[in-house]
Structure 1
Amino acid sequence: MQYKNLGRSGLRVSQLSYGAWVTFGNQLDVKEAKALLQACRDAGVNFFDNAEVYANGRAEEIMGQAIRDLGWRRSDVVISTKLFWGGQGPNDKGLSRKHIVEGLRGSLKRLDMDYVDVVYCHRPDATTPVEETVRAMNWVIDQGMAFYWGTSEWSAQQITEAWSVANRLDLVGPIVEQPEYNLFSRHKVESEFLPLYSTYGLGLTTWSPLASGVLTGKYTKGNIPADSRFALENYKNLANRSLVDDTLRKVNGLKPIASELGVSLAQLSIAWCASNPNVSSVITGATKESQIVENMRALDVIPLLTPEVIDKIEAVVQSKPKRPESYR
């Protein structure tokens, strides 16, 4: 396993990480979670991602109990959570000072931890002044409840505004953004965020490297495996949006490239994400230990991604965004 600095910070995170979205609380409980987390640690993973909204808080409880039962040293792992959707009350969501403080306290209680290493603003909040959010994030850091803060699914403009406020007030800005990034979703990482990497030292912990499993090749038109994410009632709309003819055609076009390299399509897709030098860590998901073992072998595929192989991939997906004029 390789470890990279999270943006310009001194925090080192594993190049591949594990996220609790969908799985913990929806598909898996503590016993299964312990086996998966240990498989990740055995592979060298030290970064584990969560959120207050995942399974309505149950995902944090499961992760916390599993880590406790496994007897891990807290200093050996990097734990993150995300705040925005904490409940039904008018102050149980968003990025107000009230919700950031109370929401993080709730997350720490569920995780049974004194602190998280990284706390993210799960989405931008148009109803709260950015200055209030920046001040609140710095307050929870000053209180030792978190070490760093970041954003998830924010625009470059919103991140820039947060940094402008932080610099003006001599506070800490967001060191990391958590965007979706895969062969079908590339604009933010490869185009929109380009100025932020050098200006603010922004790191990335990207999610959905397999496009919710589409890039494993296991889905075909009209065929959704019973044990897959898209078989869950809550994800049927996502399945309808994802499993369109053009996408499936491109997935089929990628399969021969993976075969020529002697790797799985999932490994090829994860390696492609991890090979981006601006990506600090690729967050993977899995419901089986065998999937974790396969995913971790993606690191061995990175050296195989020669310019010729990359060109073949680009010819199939045709998803490369245009770079801004000033960055050509």
Structure 2
Amino acid sequence: MNHRKLGKSGLLVSELCLGTMLFGGSTEEEEAIRMVHRFLDAGGNFIDTADVYTEGVSEQIVGKAIQGRRSEVVLATKAGIAVGPHPNDRGSTRKHLMDGVEASLRRLNTDYIDLFQLHVWDHETPLEETLRTLDDLVKAGKVRYVGCCNFLAWQLMKSLACSDAKDYVRFVSIQQQYSLVSREMDREHMSLCQEEQVGIIPWGPLGGGLLTGKYSSLEKPDAGRFSLGLSGEFDYQNKFTPKNFEIVQAVNEVARQTEKTPSQVALNWLLGKEGIVSPIIGANSFAQFEQNMGAAGWSLTPEQWSYLDDVSRLPSEYPARMQERFRRTW
């Protein structure tokens, strides 16, 4: 498996990141540990978890799985979403982040975290308090790099500017939803991240399963997450749109041409996208995991990649449209 630099750092991470949100839930411990070992044996080194995943059980399983191989792993976790009923059990305050790091270290059975990420933006805590805390955690050796997740573009830029002004540690990455059926990052995040050298780690790279070949019509499924009436990113109304099914059909067509699965095609498109570092692959089963691993080691043709890029592209919008029109050519 190939490796790529993570943002404006020298840290090398595998081109696929193993997501562990289901560890201890629909993925039982024995199968999860088997996935981790197979991932490492195949050259993967980037593993992502969070304190809220299966109420901390995911971190515990990851900690067990990497024992004896810790030096091989770039280990990422997160804090910020509520982990308990008390008022300070959430957010990006100095108290919660420091408590959260210590709790994650215990569950992971390690003495350092390679990439510590803010799970969400905190509207209540002063940004300077948060960034100073992250800087202190790096200086203390408990954390080596820091990143963020699910930020608006202005929130990311404000954070980078504050870090530069105060000489605090800087975000090297951002973890955001990004896929052929969710390209909202193209509006502002993508160009910002390329300008500021922030590595993009896409979550939901298969559109919650929409790009796996399981769905062929706009009709609401009888089973699976889209049948549950979930709100938010994986709401049926949000994902089952005529535009998205045009994209699904294109992915299926390219899958037939390449003799790959739709999942592998959708992931491989991401690997060819400028600015993308390492899409997060997760799986309910070892068979799904093995299929997703097959996204690496080959490439779409330029024509196939452009076909998928064109069919999934966002409509032309102001002010990007006007800037493109009057862009100076040198």
- TM-score > 0.5 by shorter chain: yes
Look up the match of 1:216: 212
Aligned-partner Cα distance in 1 for 2:316–2:181: 10
Deviations 1:219-276 (A, max 9, x none): 3534455xx5557x69587352455252345313431222012211101100111111
Is 1:120–1:152's contact at 8 Å kept on the other side of the alignment? yes
Look up the match of 1:205: 201
**For residue 20 of structure 1, what is the amino acid of its counterpart?**
T
TM-superposed CA distance for 1:283, in Å, is 0.9
Deviations 1:137-164 (A, max 9, x none): 0111111111000110112211111122
Aligned-partner Cα distance in 2 for 1:18–1:295: 10
Is 1:36–1:287's contact at 8 Å kept on the other side of the alignment? no
Query: How many residues in Structure 1 have an aligned counterpart in Structure 2?
Result: 318
Look up the match of 2:16: 16
Equivalent positions of 1:111-126 (< 5 A) are 111-126=108-123
Equivalent positions of 1:170-181 (< 5 A) are 170-181=167-178
Look up the match of 2:164: 167
Look up the match of 2:106: 109
Look up the match of 1:244: 240
**For residue 8 of structure 1, what is the amino acid of its counterpart?**
K
TM-superposed CA distance for 1:315, in Å, is 5.0
Look up the match of 1:266: 263
**For residue 132 of structure 1, what is the amino acid of its counterpart?**
E
Which of 78, 82, 85 is residue 78 of structure 2 equivalent to? 82
Is 2:251–2:266's contact at 8 Å kept on the other side of the alignment? no
Q: Percent identity at matched positions?
A: 31
Say whether 1:148 aligns with 2:148.
no
Look up the match of 1:278: 275
Aligned-partner Cα distance in 1 for 2:98–2:150: 21
Equivalent positions of 1:4-153 (< 5 A) are 4-21=4-21, 23-68=22-67, 71-72=68-69, 74-85=70-81, 86-153=83-150
Aligned-partner Cα distance in 1 for 2:13–2:86: 35
Q: 1:321 to 1:148 in 2, by over 3 A?
A: farther
Say whether 1:309 aligns with 2:308.
no
Q: 1:33 to 1:229 in 2, by over 3 A?
A: farther
- Name which of structure 1's ranges 52-61 and 293-302 shifts more when overlaid on structure 2: 293-302
TM-superposed CA distance for 1:62, in Å, is 1.5
Aligned-partner Cα distance in 2 for 1:8–1:151: 14
Aligned-partner Cα distance in 2 for 1:321–1:213: 27
Taking structure 2 as the reference length, the TM-score comes to 0.88
TM-superposed CA distance for 1:66, in Å, is 2.4
The residue matched to 2:135 in structure 1 has which SS? helix
Deviations 1:295-321 (A, max 9, x none): 22212342x231x22343245435466
Aligned-partner Cα distance in 2 for 1:230–1:110: 32
RMSD: 2.3
TM-superposed CA distance for 1:46, in Å, is 0.3
**For residue 195 of structure 1, what is the amino acid of its counterpart?**
L
Richer in helix (by share): 1
Look up the match of 1:183: 180
**For residue 211 of structure 1, what is the amino acid of its counterpart?**
G
Aligned-partner Cα distance in 2 for 1:117–1:94: 21
Is 1:267–1:301's contact at 8 Å kept on the other side of the alignment? no
Is 2:269–2:308's contact at 8 Å kept on the other side of the alignment? no
Deviations 1:4-58 (A, max 9, x none): 010110110000111112x112212321111111121122110000011111111
Is 2:56–2:107's contact at 8 Å kept on the other side of the alignment? yes
**For residue 11 of structure 2, what is the amino acid of its counterpart?**
L
Structure 1: gaps spanning 5 or more residues? none
Look up the match of 1:192: 189
Is 1:30–1:66's contact at 8 Å kept on the other side of the alignment? no
Aligned-partner Cα distance in 2 for 1:107–1:235: 29
Taking structure 1 as the reference length, the TM-score comes to 0.89
Aligned-partner Cα distance in 2 for 1:193–1:312: 20
Aligned-partner Cα distance in 2 for 1:239–1:163: 32
Aligned-partner Cα distance in 1 for 2:159–2:310: 37
- Name which of structure 1's ranges 4-13 and 216-225 shifts more when overlaid on structure 2: 216-225
